Amino acid sequence: MSKMTWLDLYNYLHERANDIKNPGSFPWQENVEVWDWETLDYYPTDFIQTPADQKISLAVDTYQKPEINNNGS
């Protein structure tokens, strides 16, 4: 599995936002979640900018109980 860069994420989202063949096909209003492929759990995320190096990250709290989505995941 390859690592994703912020540019990869941006390009993916930009492509989905401008998919004129399937307007409204991306769930823009849903919460961003990270999937743990070992436990099969989903975790909500948040953006964090660390004070020391100003690095922007997606933060995940794996100690909280994962939420169950409407689709059963």
Could you please report the per-residue DSSP string of 27-45?
-TTSPPEEEETTTTEEEEE
Res 64: pLDDT: 63
Q: What is the pLDDT of residues 12-62, one digit of tens each?
A: 888 888 887 777 778 888 888 888 888 888 888 887 777 878 888 777 776
Backbone angles phi, psi at 53, to 5 degrees: -115, 5
Model's pTM, two decimal places? 0.58
